[in-house]
């Protein structure tokens, strides 16, 4: 972490009157050009962390370093960071260009340079010709672009994004995600992105941090975290549905003598029609067609444990709730989880 562009060292933030800290001795780094997504349950401290990094929240102890310089006590406008807020915080009485130029004006950038930067940013976020438009006339996606352009106007060394797409519908969110990913990578921007949406983090991040109660409980590349989560909490939070005690699924796992809590990847669960060669060991609880696959939930007959599986609808379209089936779990798709 010592070579990271941004370093967070043992940072602790406590809200006034709170018995426990909102951020508890947290440490991590952000490399130049790296996109980090921070995910976690509501109230775990994600937004508090961003506000502390931006200088909008006081820390009880610890340090924030940018390019090796300690900025823990530096004023927000002088830190070299920029934050895009969840509610966007655009000025309704200013036009698009004035909103984007606001931070430049506060830094006493001359008019010609402000205009030059604003025009370039409008092109960058695909809002050419929108400079004189009123904020009230813009769509939700266009307002997001204005807020992003304003955050980028001061050329921050690290961009902080607090739930930037939460107010958008799924289709528009997916479109903007692709645009953001391409934009950040093309400009080698260092980004810390906070979201409650795991799919958004998977799509955008080079590295994910999972938070719980003010601490980091999981860290790694999105694919690595998904395939090998460090705990049952992280596995469930990321969206895995087959987290259980191994004894409950031992009868359907091939060649394994594991113990304790395990994750069973859905791709490792095969489902076939019961027959003499493959006697039934489960009953289909639900079968949901998602458009690309069939999502099955099957209850094992030797107990109350349910396993989720993903099946090709062209081959398993016959399955209905109540059908008796034979499940088998490939050992390579089972992960032991620390208690």
23 phi and psi angles, rounded to 5 deg = -125, 125
> What pLDDT does residue 235 have?
96
> What pLDDT does residue 315 have?
66
Q: Which domains does the chain have, with CATH numbers?
A: 6-233 (3.40.50.300), 243-336 (2.40.50.100)
Query: How many angstroms separate the CA atoms of 310 and 289, rounded?
Result: 10
> What pLDDT does residue 255 have?
66
Q: 312: closest CA among 262, 272, 259?
A: 272
Query: How many angstroms separate the CA atoms of 65 and 127, rounded?
Result: 34
> What pLDDT does residue 282 have?
95
For residues 335 and 243, the answer to whether their CB atoms sit within 8 Å is no
**Tens of each residue's pLDDT in the chain, 339 residues:** 557 999 999 999 999 989 999 999 999 999 999 999 999 999 999 999 999 999 999 999 999 999 999 999 999 989 999 988 877 788 888 899 999 998 888 888 888 998 999 999 898 888 899 999 999 898 888 888 888 888 888 889 999 999 877 766 677 677 778 888 888 898 899 999 999 889 889 999 999 999 999 999 999 999 999 999 999 999 999 999 999 999 999 989 976 678 899 999 999 999 988 888 889 999 999 999 887 888 999 999 988 899 999 888 776 667 889 999 999 999 999 999 986
> What pLDDT does residue 337 have?
92
Contacts of 198 (CB under 8 A, 6+ apart): 39, 237, 238, 239
> What pLDDT does residue 2 have?
54
Between helix 96-106 and helix 140-153 the angle, nearest 10°, is 20
> What pLDDT does residue 147 have?
87
Q: 262: closest CA among 327, 336, 319, 312?
A: 336
> What pLDDT does residue 339 have?
66
Query: Is the pTM above the cut of 0.85?
Result: yes
Number of neighbouring beta carbons within 10 Å of residue 106: 10
> What pLDDT does residue 85 have?
82
Cα separation values, 32 from 90, 93, 176, Å: 28, 36, 23
């Amino acid at each position: 972490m010592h070579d990271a562009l941004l370093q967070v060292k043992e940072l602790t933030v406590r809200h006034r009157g709170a018995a426990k800290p909102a951020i508890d001795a947290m440490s991590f780094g952000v490399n130049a050009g790296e996109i980090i997504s921070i995910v976690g349950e509501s109230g775990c401290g994600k937004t508090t962390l961003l506000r502390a990094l931006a200088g909008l929240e006081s820390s009880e102890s610890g340090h924030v370093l940018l390019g090796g310089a300690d900025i823990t006590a530096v004023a927000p406008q002088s830190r070299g960071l920029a934050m895009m807020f969840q509610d966007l915080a655009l000025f309704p009485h200013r036009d698009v260009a004035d909103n984007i130029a606001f931070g430049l004006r506060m830094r006493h950038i001359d008019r010609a340079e402000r205009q030059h930067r604003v025009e370039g940013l409008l092109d960058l976020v695909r809002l050419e010709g929108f400079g004189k438009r009123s904020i009230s006339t813009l769509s939700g996606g266009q307002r997001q672009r204005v807020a992003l352009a304003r955050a980028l106007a001061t050329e921050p060394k690290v961009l902080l994004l607090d739930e930037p797409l939460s107010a958008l519908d799924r289709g528009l969110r997916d479109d903007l995600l692709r645009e953001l990913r391409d934009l950040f990578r093309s400009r080698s921007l260092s980004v810390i992105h906070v979201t409650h949406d795991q799919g958004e983090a998977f799509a955008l991040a080079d590295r994910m941090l999972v938070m719980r109660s003010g601490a980091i409980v999981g860290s790694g590349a999105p694919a690595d975290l998904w395939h090998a989560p460090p705990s049952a909490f992280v596995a469930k939070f990321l969206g895995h549905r087959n987290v259980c005690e191994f004894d409950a699924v031992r009868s359907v796992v091939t060649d394994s003598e594991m113990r304790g809590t395990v994750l069973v990847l859905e791709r490792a669960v095969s489902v076939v029609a019961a027959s003499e060669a493959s006697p039934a060991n489960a009953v289909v609880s639900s079968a949901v067609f998602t458009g690309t696959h069939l999502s099955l939930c099957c209850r094992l007959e030797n107990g109350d444990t349910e396993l989720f599986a993903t099946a090709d609808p062209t081959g398993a379209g016959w399955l209905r709730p109540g059908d008796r089936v034979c499940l088998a779990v490939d050992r390579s798709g089972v992960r032991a989880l620390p208690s």
